[in-house]
Structure 1
Amino acid sequence: MLALARFFILGFLVLTVVYVSLSLYSRAVRRDKLEAKWDEHPEGDRDAFVQAGLKEYDHSLRRKLILGVYVVPMVLIGIIVYLTNFH
């Protein structure tokens, strides 16, 4: 049981690194797209346009779906452990 807890803690740390990397990458891609969109039709302040777009992105479904990095692997490991030990 202790080995399983240690495995989940290590897995959680690895998934945290993956989550942070994926989140930063996704935000950078969104920023690049917003800057490219503003470059096509420059109206107003570029920084304000990008910040408004990123604020909208923070509340988007894509941002919430990135949390699946935690949920999916942990659930799959839990199911595998249950099936191999208790079924």
Structure 2
Amino acid sequence: MAALARMVFIGFIVLTIIYMCLSFYSRSVRRSKLEAEWDQAGGPGDRDSFVRAGLQDYDGSLRRKLILGVYVIPSIAIGLLIYFTNFA
């Protein structure tokens, strides 16, 4: 039982690191796309406020929520692997 708890704890730490890296990467890609869009359009208004408003929209988007699959998919895969190894 202690080995399972250790595996869950270490797995959670690893998945959290992966989630943070993906989240930062996705946000930086979105920021660069917004900056390129503002540059291409000729810049209606202030660039920083345009990017800030776009990132606020991104924070509530589906893509941001889908990154949480980093926790769900490996957890389900490991659970199924343990189940089929022991009971099937």
The sequence identity of aligned pairs, in percent, is 63
* Distance in 1, Cα, partners of 2:7 & 2:70: 16
- 1:85 offset after TM fit, Å? 1.2
What does 1:33-44 correspond to in 2, within 5 Å?
Answer: 33-41=33-41, 42-44=43-45
Query: Does the alignment pair 1:21 with 2:21?
Result: yes
What does 1:39-50 correspond to in 2, within 5 Å?
Answer: 39-41=39-41, 42-50=43-51
* Distance in 1, Cα, partners of 2:8 & 2:58: 30
Query: What root-mean-square deviation, in Å, do the aligned CA atoms of Structure 1 and Structure 2 show?
Result: 0.7
Q: Deviations over 1:18-60 (max 9, x none)?
A: 0000000000000000000000111101111000000000011
* Distance in 1, Cα, partners of 2:57 & 2:44: 18
Moved over 6 A (4+): none
Which residue in the other structure is 1:4 paired with? 4
1-10 or 35-44, which deviates more = 1-10
Q: Which runs of 5+ in 1 are unaligned?
A: none
- 1:8 offset after TM fit, Å? 1.1
Which residue in the other structure is 2:63 paired with? 62
Q: TM-score when scaled to structure 2?
A: 0.95
* Distance in 1, Cα, partners of 2:74 & 2:49: 38
* Distance in 2, Cα, partners of 1:40 & 1:82: 53
Q: TM-score when scaled to structure 1?
A: 0.96
